[in-house]
Chain A
């Protein structure tokens, strides 16, 4: 038994990945699959929260970590695993109300959902490039199929195909970058590569590797940039977010994006930290381009899914500015914003999915008078959007504040060009207010286009209430504990 209990979330996923197809042989009842997936995700969530809050309970030494050759359980990984499992749980719950009972292939859907989650869990704990790549691919392949889940829907199929093609292309780039690193370092583990890089900066390793490292950084960034959707690797995101069934979009926007960030953090902030001159600038340019393009493009969108996709691109840009700063404060700000982003973007997409599923549509126009139809959903959407802008006192403000503040400190202490990134971020935040507020205006100031009664599913109500509590009450009140958690995670990340 000993330490292998820490595999429990992954084991639960694997068991239900096998279990749901087996269940399919036994029963045709669509409800049973979702229940099965809810239960396993729920248990995984409870386990993770317990192991997080009561380390003694599982004899997990909080200060230390449990490490296998390719797999590590520490503050950083556990924090993100909680987010992944929670997002997957929400997606799983929302999916039951999103899909009709007659929708075919539901067993496959939930299996794919869980295997995608499994991939993310693996990424969170990965300690070498191979495991990282494997985790990303497990998660990615499941999500390709999930995006194209509605075979009869042209948009869904088209999105799936695009996602697959660009995804495969990017994976190739990543793999090429990793192989270049392997070629010069002879190691695939983060520790191994990191010590080689330290060797270069200390002068222990002789030779000029600058160009090779630069090229491999670029290629790895291209591959991971696809996952987190930053400019110029972002082009798939709006099409896919729009075309995919909205619960899947929720998963992509909230969890998959956070997964990409884990990989970026691990690779750049830890492994390649000592040769940072090489990639800092690249990441800085990407960050600035990403937030500007994302916000500008979001302004003229009519489809709310596409608008949120572009907003996601912009948010990824904000988070990216912390990585060149490379300080503990900036990184914990970035981690905090990644977490909070998962909640606010996930919450927004849950509501978008619900509005679409009840037949109101995905257009901005369909949000007219939402406050009259359902004050709760409108309020929840408002909280999510204001949080995305970063209006106090919502959670998004707090995490963004830490992010910018930490980065600014790093900029003031050392490299002044980082300050330009922060200024860019602040100007972009102001710009983004425009399109977020447009939705809020539609919801509150206009009357519904048709006065037909609409029934919203209860699960969405509860989730949106939870989102309000979390973003508007819980995080603002207990932000100090949130920040402590993120700080622990960033210490675990940076110190390895």
Chain B
């Protein structure tokens, strides 16, 4: 019976999805009717749809049979259709020819400043629209099924997630740093709400707080950067800032500090070293939220910000190198920590940090190359820019896939600890296959999407190392990271899916005489996996994402190629030459074969170490690590996440806590004292003033006359006496 119900609701959902998408298409057709050559002008509607559905869910969500899911599906579906149409127009039809389209309106204006809001669409924005629109929509479809057990709380979930997607899309299409900053902060608020979705869990509440506070550190830097920009150039509009390269070049020092501060914002939002600590904890939210944060919305905002600020960064080589170094170091550290985690979501979280590091490495490399070329008058293009954004797109697909897949796994086995999993392959064939493809892709196995972008990044970094030594070190770091990535992702898949369905686990249990002696004993028991395949609403997005994860890399050569649309500056060669030269680089360079070998050996090691035997035990046991002093210390060091959180706690307790205590004392005794004093004084006067109203009409009349008299006395006697006059 319940099965039947499920199927009914399932087909209902599918019908709703297809209908809403069809409606979106029709609406899109009509709203762009008459401006067929200019889809971009409807870009402002993209963030509006989810925000409207946010309001609608809050007001009417309880009446919806899917508890607001329908509104979210419809609103984000509309955005997705519009986003994809714009992405098609810009990236495939090449309607902008590398230029941008801006439309703007004035909200309010003062004597010296006017606040404009509007949209700014170029290839970068179109790419982000594609990624955010598509991935968010798939996540929402997944959520309608994944969150079903939450009951009425789904209303809050869908409302918050709609707002989250809406403000992220707004951030992408905003036309000034100020508007972008407003959305940026809203993204932070939404992530706080969603990470703390299960706020009754202390860990979730503190994770939400941690995410909010840590990213706030970055936000303060970003705001400082914007203040520097505004005080130097008098505007925060992209078009006005970017169209004056001479003006920018003339203020190189200010730009250096401004871009460093802006990158500080990106470090916070995109969880780069040393502000990466919030992201692994952010796993306390629902897995769909993690998927959204990691693949489409939150952390990609930082990468987007750096790419958006590229015209500024290329004037400051210091910033470019700083970005590249931060990216490279973060990629390496995060990958090393990912190797020792047992929580499936934490592994993915560290892998996200590491992959984001890759993107920043690429962006920093590209910016430095542009600066270097301009300085020495050589023809060079920002290969790193294209590579970084290419990796952003590919990563969005395979990371969304991996997170949603892990969500399906968690949904099915109700644990996040990989040691308690294993043997899920038979129970969840679609999920395991889809996640397998994701793993191969992120590991950089040739011809999967991750391979192309990773090699392009390595290539760009290596290219720079000929001119600047530090990029050589970064290249080695990146290569090592590639090996580690391949290793820990294989480990994740092997631990989760391989092995027999039944396996023996040992656990400490209270012995029979525990009450008297307090003894524990080791007991082994056999557990049978109850894993079952997730419903279609959850597997369909997985399959779509899996095919994207496999094939999105080929967009490098499709048509005129990815690099001929998403690039910075001007191409030295003709557009079609670019893609062949990239392909040529990748396929013929010996470096590529090196990275492929490194990647494959990572996969092999992972397979050999973590293959579960017939009893469900991995070949490689922690005992091996613990038997060597060095590896054991390393393991503890990494497991404790480099003691970074502990260090922050220690540091915070020594420094800020003292300041905070002093402030607290001041607040309680001085401020509160004043406030309470004012309050009780007000109460006292209030009761006195009240007595003026006795209720006797005669008194009121005398009050009037007395008041008149008092006015005369004040103005004619007291004031002249005191020597006051107007």
Interface of A toward B, CB cutoff 8 Å: 161-162, 165-166, 169-170, 173, 214, 218-219, 222, 226, 231-233, 235-236, 238-239, 277, 280-282, 285-286, 293, 296-301, 415, 417, 431, 434, 480
Q: Kindly list chain B residues whose C-beta atoms are within 8 Å of the C-beta of A235.
A: 692-693, 699-700, 703-704
- Shortest beta-carbon distance, A432 to chain B, in Å? 11
Beyond A166-B704, A297-B689, A434-B682, 18 additional contacts (C-beta under 8 Å) are A165-B697, A169-B701, A214-B715, A214-B716, A218-B708, A218-B711, A218-B712, A222-B704, A232-B704, A235-B693, A235-B699, A281-B719, A282-B711, A296-B689, A297-B692, A300-B683, A301-B690, A417-B726
- Shortest beta-carbon distance, A287 to chain B, in Å? 12
A298 to B692, CA, bound (A): 13
A-B contact pairs, 5 of them (CB 8 A): A166-B701, A170-B704, A218-B708, A235-B703, A285-B714
Q: Kindly list chain B residues whose C-beta atoms are within 8 Å of the C-beta of A218.
A: 708, 711-712
Q: Kindly list chain A residues whose C-beta atoms are within 8 Å of the C-beta of B274.
A: none
List the count of A-B residue pairs having beta carbons below 8 Å apart: 80
A239 to B687, CA, bound (A): 16
A431 to B715, CA, bound (A): 27
Are A232 and B706 in contact, with the CB atoms below 8 A?
A: yes
Residue of B nearest to A299 (CB): B686
Q: Kindly list chain B residues whose C-beta atoms are within 8 Å of the C-beta of A232.
A: 703-704, 706-708, 710
Q: Kindly list chain A residues whose C-beta atoms are within 8 Å of the C-beta of B685.
A: 296
A480 to B711, CA, bound (A): 38
A173 to B704, CA, bound (A): 10
- Shortest beta-carbon distance, B549 to chain A, in Å? 44
Q: Kindly list chain A residues whose C-beta atoms are within 8 Å of the C-beta of B695.
A: 239
B108 interface hit (Cβ, 8 Å): yes
Given known pairs A166-B697, A299-B682, A480-B108, the reply for A282 and B704 (CB within 8 Å) is no
A368 to B2, CA, bound (A): 42
- By secondary structure, the A interface counts as helix
Are A233 and B704 in contact, with the CB atoms below 8 A?
A: yes
Are A162 and B697 in contact, with the CB atoms below 8 A?
A: yes
Q: Kindly list chain A residues whose C-beta atoms are within 8 Å of the C-beta of B686.
A: 296-300
Q: Kindly list chain A residues whose C-beta atoms are within 8 Å of the C-beta of B726.
A: 277, 280-281, 415, 417
Partner of B707, one of A233, A300, A434, A480: A233
- Shortest beta-carbon distance, A59 to chain B, in Å? 34
Residue of B nearest to A430 (CB): B678
Q: Kindly list chain B residues whose C-beta atoms are within 8 Å of the C-beta of A301.
A: 690
Q: Kindly list chain B residues whose C-beta atoms are within 8 Å of the C-beta of A161.
A: 697
Residue of B nearest to A283 (CB): B711
Partner of A285, one of B689, B704, B711: B711
Residue of A nearest to B678 (CB): A431
Q: Which 3 A-B pairs have the closest CB atoms?
A: A232-B707, A235-B700, A300-B686
1/0 contact string of B108-141 vs chain A (CB within 8 Å)? 1000000000000000000000000000000000
A470 to B179, CA, bound (A): 25
- Shortest beta-carbon distance, B357 to chain A, in Å? 40
Q: Kindly list chain B residues whose C-beta atoms are within 8 Å of the C-beta of A238.
A: 693
Q: Kindly list chain A residues whose C-beta atoms are within 8 Å of the C-beta of B687.
A: 300
Partner of A293, one of B679, B689, B700, B711: B689
Partner of B704, one of A226, A239, A300: A226
A219 to B685, CA, bound (A): 29
Residue of A nearest to B685 (CB): A296
- Shortest beta-carbon distance, A228 to chain B, in Å? 14
A196 to B700, CA, bound (A): 35
A166 to B702, CA, bound (A): 10
Q: Kindly list chain A residues whose C-beta atoms are within 8 Å of the C-beta of B715.
A: 214, 281-282, 285
- Shortest beta-carbon distance, A360 to chain B, in Å? 24
- Shortest beta-carbon distance, B666 to chain A, in Å? 20
Q: Kindly list chain B residues whose C-beta atoms are within 8 Å of the C-beta of A162.
A: 697, 700
A162 to B695, CA, bound (A): 9
Q: Kindly list chain A residues whose C-beta atoms are within 8 Å of the C-beta of B693.
A: 235, 238-239, 297
A74 to B711, CA, bound (A): 35
A298 to B683, CA, bound (A): 10
Residue of A nearest to B695 (CB): A239
Q: Kindly list chain A residues whose C-beta atoms are within 8 Å of the C-beta of B703.
A: 232-233, 235
- Shortest beta-carbon distance, B709 to chain A, in Å? 10
Q: Kindly list chain B residues whose C-beta atoms are within 8 Å of the C-beta of A281.
A: 715, 719, 726
- Shortest beta-carbon distance, B44 to chain A, in Å? 15
Q: Kindly list chain A residues whose C-beta atoms are within 8 Å of the C-beta of B716.
A: 214
A436 to B701, CA, bound (A): 30
Q: Kindly list chain B residues whose C-beta atoms are within 8 Å of the C-beta of A300.
A: 683, 686-687, 690
Given known pairs A296-B689, A299-B686, the reply for A166 and B700 (CB within 8 Å) is yes
Q: Which of B683, B707, B712, B714: most chain A CB closer than 10 A?
A: B707
